Amino acid sequence: MSDAAKLELEDGLKTFGRWDAEEVEIEDDGLVRYVNLENILAPRSKGRHSERQFYKSDVPVVERLLNRMYVAGHRGKKHYIDSGHNTGSSDKLWKLIEDAFEIIEEETGENPIQVLVTAIENSSPAEEVVTYQRGGVRARKAVLVSPQRRIDLALRLLVQGAYEKRLASSEDAVETLANELMLAADGDDSARAVREKERREREAEGAR
């Protein structure tokens, strides 16, 4: 057994072999059951949870970030920005996340997984608007968002924001992802995810 492997066994498993997800704190009580803080060296679920209801809750949150990055620019039925070239590059995307986490740790001095979870909390709308038909009229109604959907939306918005900034700037993907997560963790509305969350909640307030 190599010295690195022995050290890993002594210290306990950590995500990327460096950061402990289990020390991360979730302030939003409604999300605690749905954010998996299991440590993983590499994404290994390979869809084994797909036949179970709410299976996403069993996938570690860092792996869920990776899964969302496969379709970074896709929005709804029509792809606003195509990101098909991301698919099939799990090793490349996993390395991208690790490098982004290194930048976050250097910039903030915090566990980057804590920054990711805080960014999710700040980007997950508690309310949104649904449209339904009443007779011949379409009506809008404010509804509470389920915890699972809140996390899904937050991850989607975070990745979309980073991807769009990457296409519009000279920064590389690592820098844009790191910056987007840090801005969202600070609650800065220059992060697309935070701005979109606030927009959805304003719409919901007006539709009550």
- What are the extents of the domains in the chain? 3-206
Contact 157, 121 (CB under 8 A): no
What is the rounded average pLDDT of the residues 30-41? 90
Q: Is the pLDDT of residue 106 over 50?
A: yes
Does 3-206 carry CATH code 1.10.455.10? yes
Cβ neighbors of 206 (< 8 A, separation 6 or more) are none
Nearest CA-CA partner of 111 in 14, 8, 24: 24
The pTM of this model reads 0.84
**What does pLDDT average to over the chain?**
83
Alpha carbon distance 30, 170 (integer Å): 38
pLDDT at 138: 79
Residue 7 has pLDDT above 80, yes or no: no
User: Is there a contact between 157 and 123 (Cβ–Cβ < 8 Å)?
Assistant: yes
Measure the CA–CA gap between 149 and 143, rounded to whole angstroms.
Answer: 12
pLDDT of residue 115 exceeding 60: yes
